[in-house]
Structure 1
Amino acid sequence: MSLSDENEQSRLRRRSFLIGSGAVVATSMFSAAPAHASPSSAFPGDYDGSDLWLRYEPVADPGLLARYRAALGAIVVENAGRTKVHRHTANLGMAPGSAEHLVESTLEAARDELVRGLGGLLGRPVPVRGGFPDRAVVVGTPDSSPLVRRLVPARDLAPLGPDGYLVRSLSRGGHRSIVIAGNTDLAALYGTFAFLRRLQAQHPLAGLDLSSVPRINHRYLNYWETERLYAGNNATGTGGLDGENGAIFDFTATGASAALNLPVILDRYLVAARAMASVGINGITINNVNANSFYLTPAAIEQEAALADALRPYGIRLAVSINYAAPTDARFAPDTLTREELDPYSAKFRDWWTRRARMLQAAIPDFMGFTVKANSEGQPGPQDLGYDHGDGANGMAAAVAPLGMRIFWRTFVYNADVDADRLKRAYLEFGPIDDEPQPDGTIGRFAGNVFLQTKNGPLDYQAREPANPLFGRMEHTNQAIELQVTQEYTGQNTMLCYLGPLWEEVLKSDTYATGADGRLLAKRLVGHVVDGTAQGHPDSAIVGVANFGNAGNLTGHHFAQANLYAFGRLAWDWTLDARGIAEDWVRLTWSNRDFAVRTIVAMMMGSREALVSYQTPLGVAHQFRSSDHYGPNPAERLARDDWSPVYYNKADSAGLGYDRSPTGSGFTAQYFPVLAARYGDIETVPENLLMWFHHVPWDRKLRSGRIFWDELVYRYQTGVHYVSWMRRAWDALEPHVDARRFAEVKAKLAAHEADAGAWRDTCVRYWQEFNGRAVPTNGPLAIAIVVGGRTIGGFDAGAPSFTVPVAAGASPKITKVVPADPAARCEVLSQARGVPGQAVVRVTSHSFFGPILKDYVFELVPG
């Protein structure tokens, strides 16, 4: 099979229940669970989600379970303990009462995962054996396993590289087996997880023959400790219990948790390691980019070495974020520098960083290098001494290059002195360095061991942004894409927002990049730029700002686990589709029952577009209140202009949006010509990016036929209606999912719906201050009702209830509901028994991104 095999298999198994048209969705998603569905969940009622997608619950289908048991009789991992990984920490150990355990080799990790996974899925132990028993699962490499050498031709392994794997079912002379093989122990571990994933998702085993090679070499997480931490274990999400600070790794816990600081290893560290390895993540920067130099001190390095020891069998390497001015920190005295000695070309500066890197490498031999945030948001950098980012990055790169380390230098810079438009600033700072001719005739000044780490969009992790213009424009520099897994601007730990569609959208965006001859490149999607195939870069990297914390479920919201899973799967192969990834995650995490899978996948797939709709529709960006980046405050004006929502919305009596066209800020010129022309013209710009590039008149007619104001309100309402549908859809799943997680998600969805409504109402009211227009009443689920012979309509979909006068002697019964959309389905849930009284009408339909629902509450009063 090819690299797309897993995706193809996912599509094949989905065809029995995936929705083919909007009308069918509207019907199937609003129907109750099938009457024949099993009323019990496979998971214990008190399960807290702490195993992420690695729970390995018993296969519920008796026939499939019998086939699995017949095919999987033994585990064979030859020489599992022969190649032990490096261990620096002599007293490395688990915390008292731990359920997880330390392993000393990667093949031991693979063997133990099979023991755990097969034992759980099959509901009985599967023994580890020697030799070559019938029905064996054989795991290894040609070097570790004579069986693998015998069963897998060398020519089949050669194209797989160091991380790729193959999984095959074999039958020779009546002897049946499944072989999981790679060129390295780590590749064999990746194949083991892929095999178990197929079993969890209930794929058939017959004729199994797949292989997979990652498209991107370095698949890393940036873990930002307690900043933007929405997975902490206290009520605010920013702190911890018993002296912990809410972070997943404990370095400086106090009080009751002081004895559990590293080098003590906690269960959650190994669950995280297993989860990262299961989707191919191979590195983690363990601290915030607003870096505390504590992580470079000898005491911290010893703790980091212990963490690295525990994670190493799973292929997870460590890096740290550093402060450019760390050499001036008094904690390193007498080995310190003055501010003037931070010259990136000076021997003193480079030698200091070489010494610190050697200290890290002595304790952590596979230490990856440093992540740097410089001259951004108050962080020091080379510009403080008159140098540029190329000078600073190359100075550090030269210091660590002899040690085989890399520098990940973030391009998140927006010095207001560079340009009035914040979005233009990064390219204006980095582009000239990439284009600079060198004495040897090459182009570009950044060193070969420097990666520029660039956010997917030009602003800051918004739910929708155009692709960052740096992708494709930095032809001569290694470039890593940075995606935010933790949901700073996408609902944090309250809103259900599956980010797979966002990342798929950007990775598959066409840059329209051209070569030196001016012709379009054959491979020019953002994903091609990131994986190096667009412009011939031999190295490649992708980085996710991780959402781990010490909450019971590790991510703060059960559905936030899906974003970590999706990041890993797309980091391995960015060509996968977000829907297939979502379905796999649901099957691994919630249920394999078709009704549950169908419903949850539908909830996930529209959730991001719904969030865009009720927060920042049609391209209006960054309307968040500054205090927490969660709720709305479009009127906020801060001391710094480009942190202010009003800077981005530019609301006035004429219209809304930031003009970045050729007659505005000129930002569109940073894109390649095809996109520059498309974005620069209000007639051709995609409407979902309209206000990113144009100041749009309130009465401009859009493609829907509605004027801009009406369409804007329509989008806000649609987003909220989708969240209302999600709440009701989730309620129907109560018999199909475990009690604790059901209740916790139910509570989150209630808050989600209220907060989505607050976003809509706050923004719409603020825009009205400028345009003086009424809220249109012809929204996506608009209706009229007939009561007492009178037809009454014109209801504001944002109102919680509506007062309906009933003439004396007239019946309060609603006799007819007339939807504005003929495809909408209307149902009177309750009637008023008299006057005064209350009636409720439910209206459901389907938007361009998923089902929507509105419950109209009518207060019938004498009139």
Structure 2
Amino acid sequence: MTLSRRVFMGAVAAGAALGPGAGASARAAGREGTVAASAVVRDDSYDGSALWLRYVPISDPRLLRQYRDQVTTVIVENADRNKVYRHTPNLSMAPGSTERLMESTLEAAREELVRGLGGLLDREVRVSPGPGSRIPHGAVVVGTRESSRVVRRYVAPDELEPVGDDGYLIRSLSNGTRRFTVIAGNTDVGALYGTFAFLRRLQTHKPLTELDISEAPRVANRHLNYWDTERLYAGNNESGTGGLNGENGAIFNFAATGASAALNLPVVLDRYLVAARAMASVGITGITINNVNANNAYLTPEYIAQEAALADALRPYGIKLALSIRYAAPVDPRFAPDTLTEEQMAPNDPAFQAWWNRKARQLQEAIPDFIGFTVKANSEGQPGPQDFGYDHGDGANGMAVAVAPLGMKIYWRTFVYNPDVDSDRLKRAYLEFGPIDDEAQPDGTKGRFLDNVFLQTKNGPLDFQAREPIHPMFGRMENTNQALELQITQEYTGQNRMLCFLAPMWEEILKTDTYATDARGQLLDKRLVGNVVDGTAQNHSDTAIVGVANLGNADNLTGHHFSQANLYAFGRQAWDWTLDSADIADDWVRMTWGNDRNVVDAVVVAMMMGSWEALVSYQTPLGIGHQFTADVHYGPGPSESHLPREDWNPTYYNQADSVGLGYDRSPTGSNLTAQYFPTLEARYGDIDTVPENLMMWFHHVPWDRPMSSGRIFWDELVDRYYSGVRYVTGMRRTWDSLEADIDARRFSEVRAKLALHEADAADWRDTCVSYWQEFSGREIRAEG
């Protein structure tokens, strides 16, 4: 049983979801020196727009006195010397803005400390340009060995070397009776990340003494993919998708009209910088700013000028830009006279490569640190190399050759499911990409994909379902750089209506054993999905993790206050996938809702940590996948079979009949199991050994099959549906009990969401159980 399942079952059984602290563990209070606050600072009109960077005053008097003694002065030497590149001469903040454009990364670090410490300590903190003849007691010194005399004096080069470009050190030091803190990185960005980590300690009420912290990210490229026109559940209109006043609901304005026309880039809105600060606070390094179903407008000069302005605004926070592009963009007449003919669209055609090189150079002239391109090709109507007689390896390499001289990368998405490849949709991606990875090369190596190509692969073989088996490509693509793609925006996990904390799901994925073997068939020492992603499993030359972002122009930027936790968690897990999701939840709650013990225990234990398992239970328990209505991907539709593609229909996946339920992918069925390494192949292929929470992904399960609970499959299935809804009811009751502890606006908005959540969860339960009963013919025996 997984950790999240144990938390969920424990909460349902013990009643932890029925009140604050009922059955809750003391975990939250027992973490590293955490101190409970004695009062809650309220602002009943607060809208959530600061995300987890609100910096409310510390309400515990004893802790406040300690922190005020330990932090008295901010010193960031030469903060203004190393200014970042700015392409846009008329870059400006919108009228009435409260945020401010930064000119350097160290300036951003200094300003974050001033803002954060001023709020947390409830007083202004002295800012000094340098230590002078003596470092004052309580100083917080931030910088690199190049920028700071203090760092050069107290931090040796060999101490900083292991943390790399993005890592940092945080040290408690003393000079006589004067105690101070040094935050150091090899780069300005590393120092900025350390600054946020230091502030997080104050936000979560951890000790500031005897610090000796050294951190570096496990994955080099930690990106967001932003879908500006699709799966956007954080717009500011009533439906949660779209926008008002001429905006389209996206966080960034490129083509706003009407009342918002004057707010298009290069005008920068407060929310852009709040998002940048939030991304930097968890170490996110880049963002692809448009939909993977790409609009060629983003490659036009007019849009590139706006993109350069956005890049200028985000650059001080270490955030770099990328674009999603259409493979066939060169034939678009809006680029005339620089267009290609259909005959020139072969990926190895010099004209094709030269076109993409010219476009990349145009982008790089405006955005010198431009990352590269994300490509969705030959999938769901998007053009690709197969339209011209070539495969994905040819297409990815053709573009990679074009941008390699500019230091750019190609993120080639593997979300392909051409029905001509195999009757089982889940098998298709590996069948297309695996042979290219295994292909012998003239120099004796294997794998045709070039080194500046990432294959960007979703965590499971279907499509961001609430629980899927790991994608068989993880570990199988030994010779190709692979990026893990996770979905932060809650397409199949409740959108902006349901509270579903996704970190436990991502933890389960990242810590799943692939049982990958070497060329001799011996198990690798490091072989979890996380090891594959961070390169320690198979020594990949570059590493990446990508999250499909959930930002929008809603007041709280994510559409649901608790959806902010998923963006936060993605960043923390992208930095270090070994982190415990409960610890991440604990930090986020303290930073977002406050450090009150009653609130922390109730929200973390009784709500967040069981919410994902509850959603799995009332939507798609025991491995039944993709039972959603049409393209909405929200409500239940298990009987639907009218969609134009067979593999878009819920009936394709449930295969319900009088015998049982589920898709047979065992050796007697489609044999998807053969795509996994031998240990998983055997485990998943046998109904007696497959994990029960994945059972229907691989087997057509008889209604009367005995389960580990002692119940037959039908009764276990029904119990899962009912227990999932009970947990949601418990979340609602828990939240209701916290009314006195939560500011009024956010409390009311979450309560309204939970009421919708409970009703919709019950609809899922009733619709699915009733439909399955038509086939099972059995009595429904479950608690309401």
Match of 1:44 in 2: 43
**Matched positions, count:** 760
Match of 1:143 in 2: 146
Match of 1:240 in 2: 243
Report if the CA contact (8 A) 1:165-1:181 is conserved. Answer: yes
> Which residue among 626, 633, 636 is the counterpart of 1:632?
636
State the Cα deviation string for residues 678-707 of structure 1 (Å, max 9, x = none): 000000000000000000111111111111
Tell me how far apart the structure 1 counterparts of residues 173 and 710 of structure 2 sit (CA, whole Å): 60
SS in 1 for 2:627: coil
SS in 2 for 1:133: coil
State the Cα deviation string for residues 102-123 of structure 1 (Å, max 9, x = none): 0100000000000000000000
SS in 2 for 1:408: strand
> How far 1:31 moved relative to its partner?
4.8
Supply the AA of the counterpart residue of 1:206. T
> How far 1:210 moved relative to its partner?
0.8
> Which residue among 605, 609, 614 is the counterpart of 1:610?
614
> Which residue among 477, 480, 483 is the counterpart of 2:480?
477
Match of 1:791 in 2: none
> How far 1:28 moved relative to its partner?
5.9
Report if the CA contact (8 A) 1:38-1:736 is conserved. Answer: no
Report if the CA contact (8 A) 1:33-1:733 is conserved. Answer: no
Supply the AA of the counterpart residue of 1:67. Q
Supply the AA of the counterpart residue of 1:48. D
SS in 2 for 1:488: coil
> How far 1:32 moved relative to its partner?
5.7
Report if the CA contact (8 A) 2:17-2:727 is conserved. Answer: no
Report if the CA contact (8 A) 1:168-1:208 is conserved. Answer: yes
Supply the AA of the counterpart residue of 1:647. Y
Aligned: 1:493 with 2:481? no
Report if the CA contact (8 A) 1:39-1:735 is conserved. Answer: no
Aligned: 1:656 with 2:661? yes
Match of 1:729 in 2: 734
Report if the CA contact (8 A) 1:41-1:735 is conserved. Answer: no
Report if the CA contact (8 A) 1:40-1:735 is conserved. Answer: no
User: Where in structure 2 are the equivalents of 1:340-379 lying within 5 Å?
Assistant: 340-379=343-382
Supply the AA of the counterpart residue of 2:367. I
Aligned: 1:619 with 2:607? no
Match of 2:457 in 1: 454
Tell me how far apart the structure 2 counterparts of residues 49 and 172 of structure 1 sit (CA, whole Å): 41
Report if the CA contact (8 A) 1:41-1:738 is conserved. Answer: no
Supply the AA of the counterpart residue of 1:615. Q
State the Cα deviation string for residues 531-570 of structure 1 (Å, max 9, x = none): 0010011310000000000000000000000000000000
Tell me how far apart the structure 1 counterparts of residues 577 and 61 of structure 2 sit (CA, whole Å): 35
Supply the AA of the counterpart residue of 1:52. L
Among the aligned pairs, what percent are the same residue? 72
Match of 1:402 in 2: 405
Distance 1:509 1:32, change over 3 A: closer
Supply the AA of the counterpart residue of 1:747. A
Supply the AA of the counterpart residue of 2:729. S
Match of 1:599 in 2: 602
> Which residue among 643, 646, 656 is the counterpart of 2:648?
643
SS in 2 for 1:452: strand
> How far 1:152 moved relative to its partner?
1.3
Report if the CA contact (8 A) 1:190-1:279 is conserved. Answer: yes
Tell me how far apart the structure 1 counterparts of residues 277 and 242 of structure 2 sit (CA, whole Å): 25
Instruction: Give the structure with the higher percent strand.
Output: 1
Match of 1:305 in 2: 308
Tell me how far apart the structure 2 counterparts of residues 245 and 29 of structure 1 sit (CA, whole Å): 38
Report if the CA contact (8 A) 2:38-2:60 is conserved. Answer: no
Tell me how far apart the structure 2 counterparts of residues 238 and 116 of structure 1 sit (CA, whole Å): 32
> How far 1:30 moved relative to its partner?
3.9
For structure 2, which runs of at least 5 residues remain unmatched after alignment?
1-5, 23-35
Aligned: 1:26 with 2:29? no
Report if the CA contact (8 A) 2:558-2:564 is conserved. Answer: yes
Supply the AA of the counterpart residue of 2:285. N
Aligned: 1:686 with 2:687? no
Match of 2:289 in 1: 286
State the Cα deviation string for residues 373-423 of structure 1 (Å, max 9, x = none): 000001000001110000000000000000000000000000000000000
Tell me how far apart the structure 1 counterparts of residues 366 and 688 of structure 2 sit (CA, whole Å): 59
For structure 1, which runs of at least 5 residues remain unmatched after alignment?
1-17, 783-796, 798-863
Aligned: 1:328 with 2:327? no
Deviates more, 1:171-180 or 1:69-78: 171-180
* Deviant stretches of 4+, over 2 Å: 18-34, 37-41
> How far 1:133 moved relative to its partner?
2.2
SS in 1 for 2:485: strand
> Which residue among 666, 672, 677 is the counterpart of 1:667?
672
Supply the AA of the counterpart residue of 1:526. V
> How far 1:608 moved relative to its partner?
0.2
State the Cα deviation string for residues 491-544 of structure 1 (Å, max 9, x = none): 000000000000000000000000011100000000000000100113100000
> How far 1:340 moved relative to its partner?
2.1
Supply the AA of the counterpart residue of 2:609. M
Q: What TM-score do you get using the length of structure 1 for normalisation?
A: 0.87
Distance 1:153 1:465, change over 3 A: same
Tell me how far apart the structure 1 counterparts of residues 11 and 777 of structure 2 sit (CA, whole Å): 37
Supply the AA of the counterpart residue of 1:749. L
Match of 1:708 in 2: 713
Tell me how far apart the structure 2 counterparts of residues 768 and 717 of structure 1 sit (CA, whole Å): 14
State the Cα deviation string for residues 649-681 of structure 1 (Å, max 9, x = none): 000111100000000001000000000000000
Report if the CA contact (8 A) 2:38-2:59 is conserved. Answer: no
> How far 1:154 moved relative to its partner?
1.9
Supply the AA of the counterpart residue of 1:767. W
User: Where in structure 2 are the equivalents of 1:67-146 lying within 5 Å?
Assistant: 67-129=66-128, 130-131=130-131, 132-146=135-149
> How far 1:158 moved relative to its partner?
1.3
Tell me how far apart the structure 2 counterparts of residues 138 and 293 of structure 1 sit (CA, whole Å): 46
Instruction: Give the structure with the higher percent helix.
Output: 2
Report if the CA contact (8 A) 1:39-1:736 is conserved. Answer: no
Tell me how far apart the structure 2 counterparts of residues 531 and 19 of structure 1 sit (CA, whole Å): 28
Report if the CA contact (8 A) 1:657-1:691 is conserved. Answer: yes
> How far 1:239 moved relative to its partner?
1.3
Match of 1:833 in 2: none
> How far 1:27 moved relative to its partner?
6.0
Structure label with greater radius of gyration: 1
Tell me how far apart the structure 1 counterparts of residues 678 and 305 of structure 2 sit (CA, whole Å): 52
Report if the CA contact (8 A) 1:248-1:268 is conserved. Answer: yes
Aligned: 1:153 with 2:141? no
Supply the AA of the counterpart residue of 1:79. N
Report if the CA contact (8 A) 2:20-2:602 is conserved. Answer: no
Match of 1:830 in 2: none
Report if the CA contact (8 A) 2:21-2:601 is conserved. Answer: no
Tell me how far apart the structure 2 counterparts of residues 178 and 39 of structure 1 sit (CA, whole Å): 27
Supply the AA of the counterpart residue of 1:350. Q
Match of 2:765 in 1: 760
Tell me how far apart the structure 2 counterparts of residues 124 and 172 of structure 1 sit (CA, whole Å): 25
Tell me how far apart the structure 2 counterparts of residues 353 and 27 of structure 1 sit (CA, whole Å): 59
Relative contact order, higher structure (CA 8 A, sep 6+): 2
Distance 1:558 1:633, change over 3 A: same
> Which residue among 510, 513, 525 is the counterpart of 1:510?
513
State the Cα deviation string for residues 735-776 of structure 1 (Å, max 9, x = none): 111110000000000000000000000001111121222212
Tell me how far apart the structure 2 counterparts of residues 340 and 631 of structure 1 sit (CA, whole Å): 45
